Amino acid sequence: MRKLVWLTLIAMVVSLSACSASNSELNNDMVFVEGGAFKSSKSSQIERNEMMDSFYIGKYEVTQREWMEVMGENPSGFKGDDLPVEMVSWYDAVEYCNQKSIKENLKPYYNIDKDTQDKNNHNENDNIKWTVTMNEDANGYRLPTEAEWEYAASGGQKSLDYTYSGSNNPDEVAWYWKNAGDTVLTGDWSWPAIESNRNQTQKVGTQKPNELGIYDMSGNVREWCWDWYSDSESADHSWRVVKGGGWIGGVNNNEILFRGKFDANGYGPDQGFRIVRGE
């Protein structure tokens, strides 16, 4: 009887340790974002009075090491394990989410039909147009919605109402055209100056984090979101939303409320992403 009790206790400890390890592993890579109403006024979403559900978001932009572990090859122009992966399209990003989910025995969040063109995609430059839909009951990785991205970037319930993610001073939190090279540039945006200054992506997590401990949501690489881009002038499905600005862009692109757009099949040396999971 005593032996049975000890075996039961050991089994319980092992079980609890396994759960703790799983949660610890998740929390090391992902930051918990408590749901609620937007606290920040520096958001394009604030007028919608949207209540956000809780979720986890990547502490860092997806790195080249992480991409290689899942996809087996590295498309990036600037090579480095701890640099953000770039030169990836929106389609590459959703495929990465599914493949990472499968690798970790999670249910993939996306249904990706590569043989059926998305009739809602009106972009004449997009020669891919996969039909991508969501598995709402899946527990796998996915791209953030634009609202989730802005909520996390603004600090969620801990928001201090910063213009950029974690500060009102972009040089504290963002890599952008003025500071992402050999020296700090001055004056107006200039591609020749950027090129001669050898600007490029920077190692993730080397600037200050925001209120939630998330890094690089302003600058470094622009980040894909799930949403189609729409505004008062355009409501058709032609572009996907990109957020946060990058090492090439002007400082205004780094503002939390700035809304960027890009062809879903487009890619560039300043285009990456981060991932999300449900609570």
Reported as a pLDDT band with limits 50, 70 and 90, residue 19 is very low
Q: Which domains does the chain have, with CATH numbers?
A: 30-278 (3.90.1580.10)
Mean pLDDT to the nearest integer, 89-109: 98
Given a cut of 60, whether residue 7 has pLDDT beyond it is: no
Q: Which amino acid is at 103?
A: K
So what's the pLDDT on residue 13? 32
Mean pLDDT along residues 253-271: 97
pLDDT (mean) for 268-272:
98
* pLDDT for the residue 14: 33
N- to C-terminal Cα separation, the chain: 40
Nearest-angstrom CA–CA distance, 224 and 246: 12
Burial of 251 (0-12, 13-18, 19+ CB in 10 A): buried
Per-residue pLDDT reduced to its tens digit, 72-82:
999 999 999 99
pTM, two decimals, is 0.88
For residue 28, the model assigns a pLDDT of 63
For the ranges 15-29, 180-194, 209-223, 261-275, the lowest mean pLDDT is seen at 15-29
Report the relative pairing of strands 55-58 and 110-117 from DSSP bridges: unpaired
Q: What would the pLDDT profile of 210-250 be if each residue is shown by its tens digit?
A: 999 999 999 999 999 999 998 655 556 899 999 999 999 99
The strand ranges marked E within the chain are 30-33, 36-37, 51-52, 55-58, 110-117, 130-134, 222-228, 240-243, 260-262, 271-272, 276-278
Average pLDDT over residues 112-129: 95
In the predicted structure, residue 39 carries a pLDDT above the cut 80: yes
Q: What is the mean pLDDT of the chain?
A: 89
Residue 206 vs residues 84, 182, 214: alpha-carbon distances, Å: 12, 16, 11
45 pLDDT tier (thresholds 50, 70, 90): confident
Q: Which of 37-46, 56-65, 71-80 has the weakest average pLDDT? A: 37-46
At residue 231, the pLDDT reads 66
Going by DSSP bridges, is the β-strand pair 222-228/271-272 parallel, antiparallel, or unpaired? Answer: parallel
Q: What is the pLDDT of residues 190-207, one digit of tens each?
A: 999 999 999 999 999 999
Report DSSP state, residue 54. P
